Amino acid sequence: MPRAFDIKLATIEDVPLILNFIKELAEYEKVAHEVVATQETLRETLFGENPHAEVIIGHLNETPVAFALFFHNFSTFLGKPGIYLEDLFVRPEARGNGIGQKMLAYLAKLAKDRHCSHMRWCVLDWNESAIGFYKRMGATAMDQWKIYRVTEQALDDLAK
């Protein structure tokens, strides 16, 4: 029987599934202890009055097997928006079916439809399989850039 794959934009009804995907991704990345997101916070931040990100869900034979969470960023040099891919995760049992490529292609088409100039994302330096996958998709590493962030107490201190 052929394997049917389709991608849908997530709705508020998908919040429990999205949280499960986030937890599975955190397990894979060995940072499950860092997940503090809840269904309530996801409902508000993804589907509330001022949504901050969007999610697509990939279904193989009507079973959810992949998700991607993304939002718009902006290139000041290009003067155009882009799509920042925060997370892309394909469940282990579904890998090797071209699902990751289809998810990225969907986002690339969405970026083009929204007149974006680029897509951007980060990958952990130890995740050789993801790095190889992204290179095969035509992505190039931006090795001259370092990512910085402030969180928790440092964010509180900076905001004062």
14-61 pLDDT per residue, tens: 999 999 999 999 999 999 999 999 999 999 999 999 999 999 999 999
Catalytic entry in 28, 84, 106, 134: 134
- Radius of gyration over every alpha carbon of the chain, rounded to an integer in angstroms: 16
CA distances from 18 to 23, 65, 71, 80, 89 (A): 9, 11, 15, 29, 11
| pLDDT for res 48 | 97
Parts of the chain with a pLDDT under 70: 1-2
Q: Is 106 a residue of the active site?
A: no
**What is the bridge-based pairing of β-strands 80-90 and 118-121?**
parallel
Helix ranges restricted to H, the chain:
15-28, 39-47, 99-113, 128-136, 152-159
| pLDDT for res 3 | 73
Residues 103, 58 contacting (CB under 8 angstroms): yes
**In the chain, what are the domain boundaries?**
5-159
Q: Which residue has the tokens 């007149």?
A: 115
| pLDDT for res 55 | 98
Give domain 5-159's CATH architecture.
3-Layer(aba) Sandwich (3.40)
